[in-house]
Amino acid sequence: MAERIKLSDFEEKVLNSSVPVLIDFYSDSCVPCKRLAPVVGTVEDERAGSLLVYKVNINFDADAASEYEVTAAPTLVLFKDGKETARHTGVFRKDELTSGGMKRRVEIVRAVMAESDIVIMDEPFAGLDEVT
């Protein structure tokens, strides 16, 4: 089961991680979050060592939700090399998360190296297979 973290843990556990990190922003009272939990747990087990998975309860750590502009639960945010690389809000199946079979569209956030600007594009979620 994914460890619950708070905003004060982000630099150490997420931003400085040498492997990709998937953050599950959830709420205890959220039915879709409860449906997504086993999917996230399976991915965590299958990718142990190549992907870290943490949970942030948006009710108890509203600062983290605000900092990362999470406005609904469940929201999954993928970080690689300390930068957000993908985000999805809502429930989906394991194969949609891992293999790039996502038919819905999600935000992909890319850092533009030369200018350090952030470009937000609406593209299909590439899937964890491409980053782990």
User: Which residues are the active-site residues?
Assistant: 30, 33
- The number of CA neighbours under 13 Å toward the Cβ of 66 is 5
Does residue 20 have a cis bond before it (omega within 30 degrees)?
no
What distances in angstroms separate CA 42 from CA 37, 38, 53, 75, 116, one per listed residue? 9, 6, 11, 17, 35
Residue carrying the six token digits 């994914």: 2
Facing residues of 107 across strands?
122
